[in-house]
Amino acid sequence: MQKKRRLFLRGQNGLVKQSGQMSAPFELFVAVIIMGFVVIIGSQMIANANANVCLNSVDKAMATFKTKLEETANQRSSNQFFFSPDRCFDAAKAKIGIEKYNNSKVCSAKCGKPWDSCFTMSFYAEDIPNAYIEKCLNIPQYTTFFSSLDSGMCEGLQDYEAISPGNGGIKLGQYILRNVANIGATYPSVCIYYKAA
């Protein structure tokens, strides 16, 4: 009787060992899955942090461009500056430009004022998550932007090209802004000169 009992205990010990050996691969599998999630979440957090740093740089550069443009249009001043946010996006795919809206509801939503028409400066990049920035320009609604296509309006500057700022026309580089409206003119006429950096 005692002999049988000993065999039964040995059998139990054997089962416990076998059960422990079978659970080890499962525990390893769970650990690998958890580590995978940690790596994925960590990568996303780093990507989001980098995107925020990038967008802050773009926002700051756009604020400078906006201020210089408003000074040029409203005070008839001439401004020279670099538009050079961190190159943390594909500049070839990014769209930066000035748009005019002729709708008081849209202007009220974008600028907080019920203007009949308004101008905004916007930035969009495909390769950065949630990369859209828009700034309302406080310039007269009848401001005109001339380019090299408008004959005689924007005189040539050495190494610079007069560009049209609409439809993603603003690129990274050096700018000169000039108000070329005749003295006594009611509304500004602006030439935006661009030189690649």
Q: What is the pTM of this model?
A: 0.74
Domain that holds residue 73: 48-87+142-196
Within the chain, residue ranges assigned H as helices are: 2-75, 104-111
**Is residue 108 a part of any domain in this protein?**
no
What 131-138 contacts at long range (C-beta under 8 Å, 24+ apart), as own/partner pairs, is 131/51, 131/54, 131/55, 131/58, 131/89, 133/55, 133/58, 133/59, 133/62, 134/110, 135/62, 135/63, 135/66, 136/110, 136/111, 136/112, 137/66, 137/69, 137/70, 137/98, 138/70, 138/74
**Is residue 160 a part of any domain in this protein?**
yes
33-82, pLDDT tens digit by residue? 777 766 777 666 666 666 778 889 999 999 999 999 999 999 888 999 99
What does pLDDT average to over the chain?
83
**Is residue 71 a part of any domain in this protein?**
yes
**Is residue 79 a part of any domain in this protein?**
yes
How crowded is residue 148: how many other Cβ atoms within 10 Å of its Cβ? 15
Report the domain count for the chain.
1
155-175, pLDDT tens digit by residue? 878 899 999 998 889 999 999
**Is residue 179 a part of any domain in this protein?**
yes
**Is residue 42 a part of any domain in this protein?**
no
